[in-house]
Copies of this chain bind each other. A is one copy, B any other.
Amino acid sequence: MDEIVTLAHGAGGKKTAELIEKVFKTHFSNPEFTGDDAAVLQIDGNQLAFTTDGFIVSPPEFPGGNIGKLSVCGTVNDLACMGAQPLYLSCAFVIEEGFSLAKVEAYAAAMEKTANEAGVRIVAGDTKVAGKGQVDNLFITTTGIGRVMQGCHTSGTFARPGDAVIVTGDVGRHGCTILLARDTYGIKADVTSDCAPLWGTVKTMFDTTKNIHVIRDATRGGVGTVLYEIAEQSNIGIRLDAAAIPIDKAVSGVCGMLGLEPLYLACEGRLVVFAPKEEAAALLETLHKGTYSKNAAIIGEVTAELAGRVIMKTEIGTETMLPPPGGELLPRIC
């Protein structure tokens, strides 16, 4: 293992997995410790989901949201992906000395609004102030408890040949928004983050059918990283149809200019769903009625061959391998 922590260790890819495997799994070994988005706990006969996420985003405000909204969506969505109705959240703030109180209040207001929409209550909190220069603006860590719905069992290991691969909307918007908000490249484009609470989306899918194998939110590392993780966890291959992947025109334009693959840009309001092909039409019909999933599309299928790989049928009909996720995020969005 490297002797120092690198940005790649936090990018959600191979190095993060290595850190979890070698350090955290070694020391936090117990039956409930999880590689999924949330741990599932049995407490006195109830099945609860439990998850935590730290949010550091620069800039803390961006078109379509701010760090407060993001910190609620991220944890609500991790619970939702486990088929769990979000019930309660805690939040811990670390704020840099000298940061604007009005901004802290604006982020708290965004958290309130998003929590209300998701039907979750923020019940516990903590505030620490770090000295000037000890932290960049502010970090928010949220932790959520949800009630696992009966009959809803999904996992990254459940994908099967014959499954359709669905995304619930156009991909890469959040990563592209942050990239533009930083103004590093001097590019202007009209892109808004997809940041949204997705419990409602998940619930309507399960109301349509319980026969869903995998639900994952495509945050750090984007849809591409999630697909590679599932291909490995379920030991299956994935064949994508490039023409079917919904991408906003402006996002596509920015990616073209900078040579970025939109599948590897973070989303904060998009789910990757694996379900048997015969369920896909009904799921799509449901999704197209939802606020946050109007552009949902079937983007590919699961194959028995080429296990662990993601193959893409290009728009000119050839096949190419989607490059596996590398180290650092481009751009770093957290």
**Shortest Cβ distance from residue A321 to the other chain B in the assembled complex, whole angstroms:** 28
Q: Does A334 have its Cβ within 8 Å of any Cβ on chain B?
A: yes
Give every chain B residue within 8 A of A143 (Cβ-Cβ). 52, 90, 92, 124, 141, 143
**Shortest Cβ distance from residue A123 to the other chain B in the assembled complex, whole angstroms:** 4
B129 x A32 contact (CB < 8 A): no
**Shortest Cβ distance from residue A60 to the other chain B in the assembled complex, whole angstroms:** 12
CA distance A45 to B44 in the complex (A): 9
Q: Does A184 have its Cβ within 8 Å of any Cβ on chain B?
A: no
**Shortest Cβ distance from residue A108 to the other chain B in the assembled complex, whole angstroms:** 4
Interface positions of A (Cβ within 8 A of B): 1-11, 16, 19-20, 23-24, 26-28, 30, 32-34, 38-39, 41, 43-46, 48, 50-56, 58, 87-88, 90-102, 104-105, 108-109, 111-112, 115, 121-131, 133-136, 139, 141, 143, 145, 147, 332, 334
B127 x A27 contact (CB < 8 A): no
Give the residue of B51, B87, B124 whose beta carbon is less than 8 angstroms from that of A34: B124
Given contacts A32-B121, A104-B23, A111-B28, contact A43 B6 (CB under 8 A): no
Give every chain B residue within 8 A of A129 (Cβ-Cβ). 5-11
Give the residue of B11, B19, B125 whose beta carbon is less than 8 angstroms from that of A28: B125
Give the residue of B45, B56, B92, B124 whose beta carbon is less than 8 angstroms from that of A130: B56
Q: Considering only CB atoms, which chain B residue lies closest to A108 in the complex?
A: B27
CA distance A109 to B9 in the complex (A): 19
A43 x B95 contact (CB < 8 A): no
A-B contact pairs, 22 of them (CB 8 A): A4-B97, A5-B99, A7-B129, A19-B127, A23-B108, A27-B108, A32-B121, A33-B121, A34-B124, A38-B124, A44-B147, A50-B123, A52-B124, A52-B126, A53-B92, A53-B126, A58-B134, A90-B143, A124-B143, A133-B133, A141-B141, A141-B143
A92 x B141 contact (CB < 8 A): yes
| Extra A-B contacts (8), CB below 8 Å, given A28-B112, A90-B143 | A4-B101, A24-B125, A30-B121, A32-B88, A52-B126, A53-B92, A56-B128, A143-B143
B4 x A105 contact (CB < 8 A): no
Give every chain B residue within 8 A of A11 (Cβ-Cβ). 129
B94 x A52 contact (CB < 8 A): no
CA distance A129 to B4 in the complex (A): 11
A7 x B97 contact (CB < 8 A): yes
CA distance A134 to B6 in the complex (A): 13
CA distance A325 to B101 in the complex (A): 22
A97 x B128 contact (CB < 8 A): no
